[in-house]
Amino acid sequence: MNARNLFLAGLLSATALGGTGAYAQDAAAACAGEEVTLRILRTPGNYPYPAPMEAWQKENPCVNFEINEIPFAQLADTISVQAASSNPPDILVYDGPNTRSYAAAGILLPITKYLPEGWDEDILPATKAEHSYEGEVYSPGIEQTTVAMYYNKMLVEAAGIKPPQTLDEAWTWPQALEAFKACQQGPAGAPTVWGLGPTRFGNGQPGLVYQDLIYQRSAGDPKADPDSSAYKTFWALSPDGNSVEGYLNTPEAIEALTFYQSLFNAEGVAPKVGIPNAFFDGKACFYIDTPAAGSALLKDPKIEWGITPIPYFKTPVVHTGSTTIGATARSKHPEIAAKFVVDMSWGEYAYMNVSQRGNLPTLKSLFPRFEVYGNYPMKVFIDQLQEWGQPRPPGPKFAQYDKLVTDALRAVAFGGDPAELMADAEKKVQRVLDR
């Protein structure tokens, strides 16, 4: 680089730095008091989104943001390292079922006293239950998700199948299996078009608690005698979160899991490993996913599609939960962090955040503003959430429960003995709960 180029490069750099300084000066000029920087740890493409943050900053000009983004697969590891450090983030965006773990560990700040009037009546009960611990609310929640069963209209109609569109007509799992078999193209276990496509979560393998624990839970009955196996099968963890023995390895659960196993083995209608975009590429007739998939298809309709409620054995059930937002207990600015967290999940800011990705809001008052959820097919999600929604078995050791039960369910899908695996899972989870 010659001297002239070097001079021009230096001039350009100085101009750029000067511009940055001017921006900072403008922001500082609007701030009358002490400037505060809130450090946010979130996953890429997640809320809080730029538009509501900028709007909030206009009302709170002394607050700046420093954002650190971590892929979802590494989020829990990162939180466990950063939260205990000497300089933890002020705001965490994390997986909702971990609320109790983080609350019990003293990571999250209780925000009950910051919640606006009317929040209790407006929030979905499942969201409040998931984000509360020992009488305190630790996260207001912003969006809510659940899963339903998408289908490829062309493939399904070609097979002469008409999936139900309302909850009262929902299939049972054996009925759904008949539909998978009728629609599947090619030999069982290695077809060209699968009856039931693989999940897009994780590495695409079956077994995730969020999606697959509902098989056995739906074989239970929440209205049965609390000492009965049917009752315990439905809840999959004791109400106080301290015991799992007799909740996973029940006759009802084993029967449901034997059916679940057959999907991947004897019937061969679902793959054991992930196939990227299988449903969107027309390689699967049915597919289980959150409203995010529907929102993406509405924007870019690659295929003709519909939604049918999640099938069940005895009691329809779907898991709720999403990523959520919380303030850290050791934040250097707890008041401002709590105010930001609550503001982002209430009123217009909540609407701005939820509408960005297309999942469901956690506030009932926002439902009418999302017209797409007022009609079929997306209405199925709202109906399921309100009628069938249950949080994943909550407790301060959820992350450990999730890992151990996922491993057991995956081993069942791969052909292991359901009773043996569930007994082993109970033993391992109980060891964690007792520790």
Q: Quick one: tokens of 212?
A: 């697959």
- Burial level of 334, CB count in 10 A (0-12/13-18/19+)? middle
Q: Residues with Cβ < 8 Å from 383, sequence gap 6 or more?
A: 166, 167, 309
Q: Residues with Cβ < 8 Å from 261, sequence gap 6 or more?
A: 412, 413, 415, 418
Q: Which of 414, 419, 423, 430 binds another protein (CB under 8 A)?
A: 414
DSSP 56-124: HHHHSTTEEEEEEE--HHHHHHHHHHHTTSSS--SEEEEEGGGHHHHHHTT-BPP-GGGSPTTHHHHB-
Measured from the CB atom, the residue of 1 and 190 that comes closer to another protein is: 190
Phi, psi at residue 389, to the nearest 5°?
-65, 135
Binding string, 176-195, against another protein, x = CB under 8 A?
-------------xx-----
Site for another protein in 91-120 (CB under 8 A): 101-102, 105-107
Other CB atoms within 10 A of residue 37 CB: 13
Site for another protein in 268-327 (CB under 8 A): 271-273, 275
Whose tokens are 């793959």? That residue is: 271
Taking Cα atoms as reference points, which of 28, 142, 63 lies closest to residue 336?
63
Sole window of 117-125, 164-172, 294-302, 413-421 interacting with another protein (rule: CB under 8 A): 413-421
Could you tell me if 425 and 257 are in contact, meaning their C-beta atoms sit under 8 angstroms apart?
Answer: no
Asked if 400 interacts with another protein (CB under 8 A), we say yes
Sole window of 138-146, 303-311, 375-383, 425-433 interacting with another protein (rule: CB under 8 A): 425-433
**How many residues in the shown chain lie near another protein by CB under 8 A?**
33
Q: Which of 416, 419, 423, 430 binds another protein (CB under 8 A)?
A: 416
Asked if 12 interacts with another protein (CB under 8 A), we say no
CB of 184 to another protein, least distance (A): 12
Could you tell me if 226 and 238 are in contact, meaning their C-beta atoms sit under 8 angstroms apart?
Answer: no
Phi, psi at residue 123, to the nearest 5°?
-75, 145
Sole window of 74-82, 119-127, 250-258, 316-324 interacting with another protein (rule: CB under 8 A): 74-82
| Sheet containing 36-42: order of strands | 63-69, 36-42, 91-95, 323-327
Q: Which helix (H) or strand (E) holds 38?
A: strand 36-42
CB of 133 to another protein, least distance (A): 14
CB of 351 to another protein, least distance (A): 33
CB of 142 to another protein, least distance (A): 23
CA distances from 390 to 100, 128, 279, 317 (A): 16, 11, 26, 7
Measured from the CB atom, the residue of 45 and 106 that comes closer to another protein is: 106
CB of 241 to another protein, least distance (A): 15
Taking Cα atoms as reference points, which of 190, 205, 244 lies closest to residue 393?
244
Asked if 411 interacts with another protein (CB under 8 A), we say yes
CB of 271 to another protein, least distance (A): 5
Measured from the CB atom, the residue of 343 and 424 that comes closer to another protein is: 424
Q: Which of 35, 54, 77, 348 binds another protein (CB under 8 A)?
A: 77
How many Å apart are CA 290 and CA 380, to the nearest integer? 11
Could you tell me if 418 and 254 are in contact, meaning their C-beta atoms sit under 8 angstroms apart?
Answer: yes
Asked if 415 interacts with another protein (CB under 8 A), we say yes
Measured from the CB atom, the residue of 118 and 415 that comes closer to another protein is: 415
Site for another protein in 202-241 (CB under 8 A): 203
Asked if 87 interacts with another protein (CB under 8 A), we say no
Measured from the CB atom, the residue of 202 and 334 that comes closer to another protein is: 202
Q: Which residues bind another protein (CB under 8 A)?
A: 76-77, 79-81, 83-84, 101-102, 105-107, 189-190, 203, 271-273, 275, 399-400, 403, 407, 410-411, 414-416, 421, 428, 431-432, 435
